[in-house]
Amino acid sequence: MSVALRKFLKDHGRGYSTMAHNQLPSTVNNLNKNQLIVPLTRKAIKPSVFFTMDIETITYKGHQLPCLISVKVTSQVKVFRIRKVDMESVFLMWVEYLEDKTEAKVNTILSHNLGGFDGIFLSKFVNSYFSPEQVETVVDVYRKHISLLILKNIFLILQKSKIMEKLLYFIKIKKYIFLFYKDSLALYKALKAAQSFYIEKYGVDITSIVSLPSLAMKIFRLNFLEHPIPILTGFNDYFVRKAYFGGAVDIYKAHAKKCYYYDVVSLYPYAMCKPMPLELLETLTGDQLNSFDLDNFFGFIDLEIECPKSVSRPVLPFRWQNRTIYPKGKFSGVYFSEEIKDMLNYGYKIQRIKCAKRFSKGYIFNDYVKEMFGLKKNSTGPLRWIAKLLLNSLY
């Protein structure tokens, strides 16, 4: 691997758990556990105890200022509030909250909007109260907080979604009247129900995960994954991901009378029930491509392809100036073999194949998709919403 490529992968590569660096070409049987997504066997039986929290703010000198923190513990709702509107009072409120010893053995607190709101105020004051080596913050690519862990083992905050209506009441502090949303209590009741559901049905405790995709993955590995899935190396991971474009979105000005309207549901989960790439078997380049047989190939191809002008609606995507377009004419890219086979039926023509990576195939997700789709189809209300999110979050 060239120095330039190593630098590019270092700057742009994915640094989280599905990346396995320094993996050499091998078979599934010879890979170590760190290079595989393996089935899990340890299911949760007894629910862990957790708190829920919510932060209320007021506008002070053009800035939002935290004025009240509510926390639902197992026995009560506790409230920490400022005594007057100034920064010293705000700081003392945070100190009181962080030093509270109520049921101190519980180290998990769930917040309904950690990513876009609570985490901003929380991390600011936590970083003031603790030294850097005591705090670990996880954020996503949009700079939203996912979790904040104080290594002193005081609490772990996980992001959750709003799933219950807010109950309102007023708290009067001197001349100020604050509209206090009783989110911590409503969230606690909702998450206790969710916790019981996930443990009883799938053996997963929500306090052990940090996001919806990680919840879907844990359910999948505990209940549906039968054989290990190899994790790609840095370069092969980068190569394959060039073939991922997302769904096509087109806008048409249409008008019709006396017509039927059809909506295709769960298209991505449907595609997950098709044969999926499993293990990288070989990489073909140069003379190895002289006898390339697309009909008997399954994997990813770097090629030059042409969309003739006669094709009325191009359907093969191409990245151009940070946009996804569907061009006519000649262009190059990395694509999945089954997609290219489809394109030939539309009139596309392969000009040249530069590189091809052959994979084995397997029906990896069928049982998971059937389970979640059935739950979605036969449920209403929150349960249907949960099934839909799990159905769309795994891949």
Asked whether residue 41 carries a pLDDT value surpassing 80, the answer given is yes
* 111-134 average pLDDT score: 79
* 159-174 average pLDDT score: 35
- From the number of C-beta atoms within 10 Å of its C-beta (0-12, 13-18, 19+), residue 121 rates as middle
Residues paired with residue 318 on neighbouring β-strands, in sequence order: 325
Q: What is the residue whose two structure tokens read 């003739």?
A: 308
> DSSP 3-state assignment of 318?
strand
Among 2-11, 198-207, 354-363, the range scoring the smallest mean pLDDT is: 2-11
Report the candidate in 353, 302, 305, 301 with the shortest Cα–Cα distance to residue 329: 305
Close Cβ partners of 276 (under 8 Å, ≥ 6 residues apart): 361, 362, 363, 364, 365
Query: Where exactly are the structural domains of the chain?
Result: 51-208, 242-252+263-364
Identify the top-confidence range among 37-51, 133-147, 179-193, 254-268. 37-51
Alpha-carbon distance 98 to 159, whole Å?
A: 19
Report the candidate in 164, 62, 156 with the shortest Cα–Cα distance to residue 110: 156
Among 233-242, 249-258, 370-379, the range scoring the smallest mean pLDDT is: 249-258
Output the pLDDT for position 11. Answer: 54
| pLDDT over 90, % of the chain | 41
Output the pLDDT for position 29. Answer: 55
Output the pLDDT for position 153. Answer: 34
Q: Which residue has the higher pLDDT, 163 or 142?
A: 142
Asked whether residue 12 carries a pLDDT value surpassing 60, the answer given is no
* 379-390 average pLDDT score: 89
Alpha-carbon distance 213 to 88, whole Å?
A: 40
> DSSP 3-state assignment of 387?
helix
* 319-327 average pLDDT score: 91
Output the pLDDT for position 138. Answer: 76
Output the pLDDT for position 267. Answer: 87
Output the pLDDT for position 119. Answer: 82
| pLDDT over 70, % of the chain | 81
